[in-house]
């Protein structure tokens, strides 16, 4: 398994675990203001979903997709959206790796004025951005007393992944 496989696998499955921890939470807790960059668990999850989708769309040079379903507090909807959205990102990242296009660029049309960005830099940004917000979610979930919240580190993921 190479480094990209590890990073993508850890990012995807650990986020799925964290989302799974939200399943037992009532809507009030998902919307409760906490010390998070996006104020609430729901806001942080929606931000993560939107971030993965928007960057994937930008790199693929396609129109940004609508994200209406992500505005609710249905954790099952989030889990499904994460799997679909992340699969698209991971497939794109693996295609970049296979073609050794890390330093190739695309035009980020959302910048004003639009700027060229590399695939490698953007893929790294998405993965590290997810880790930042996943860390916030892990801390918030532990703070409100959710049991069995994963530690979230790559070595724990690798140990568990190796056993499956």
Q: What is the CATH number of the domain that holds 93?
A: 1.20.120.450
Query: What CA–CA distance (Å, rounded) separates 40 from 131?
Result: 17
Calculate mean pLDDT across residues 61-89: 83
Q: At what angle do helices 3-21 and 119-143 cross, to 10 degrees?
A: 30
Instruction: Give residue 34's pLDDT.
Output: 83
Residue 164 has pLDDT above 70, yes or no: no
Residue 42 lies in a domain: yes
Is the model more confident about 94 or about 70? 94
Classified as helix, coil or strand, 115 is strand
pTM over 0.85: yes
The pLDDT tens digits of the residues spanning 99-143 come to: 999 999 999 999 999 999 999 999 999 999 999 999 999 999 999
Residue 96 lies in a domain: yes
Instruction: Give residue 71's pLDDT.
Output: 63
Instruction: Give residue 120's pLDDT.
Output: 97
Residue 164 lies in a domain: no
Residue 162 lies in a domain: no
Query: Sign of dihedral through CA atoms 72, 73, 79, 80?
Result: negative
Query: What CA–CA distance (Å, rounded) separates 108 from 129?
Result: 17
Displacement of CA 57 from its chain's centroid (Å): 14
Instruction: Provide the residue range defining the domain that includes 97.
Output: 3-156
Residue with tokens 């296979």: 98
Q: What are phi and psi of 38, to 5 degrees?
A: -115, 30
Structurally, the chain folds into a number of domains equal to: 1
């Amino acid at each position: 398994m190479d480094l990209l496989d590890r990073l993508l696998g850890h990012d995807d499955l650990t986020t799925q675990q964290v989302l799974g921890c939200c399943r037992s939470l009532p809507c009030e807790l998902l919307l409760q203001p906490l010390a998070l960059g996006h104020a609430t668990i729901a806001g942080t999850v929606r931000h993560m979903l939107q971030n993965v989708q928007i960057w994937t769309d930008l790199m693929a040079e396609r129109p940004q997709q609508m994200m209406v379903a992500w505005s609710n507090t249905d954790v099952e909807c989030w889990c499904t959206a994460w799997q679909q959205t992340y699969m698209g990102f991971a497939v794109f990242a693996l295609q970049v790796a296979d073609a050794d296009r890390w330093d190739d660029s695309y035009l980020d049309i959302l910048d004003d004025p639009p700027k060229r960005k590399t695939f490698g830099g953007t893929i790294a940004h998405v993965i590290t951005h997810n880790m930042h917000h996943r860390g916030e979610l892990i801390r918030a979930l532990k703070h409100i007393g959710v049991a069995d919240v994963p530690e979230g580190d790559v070595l724990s993921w690798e140990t568990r992944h190796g056993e499956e």
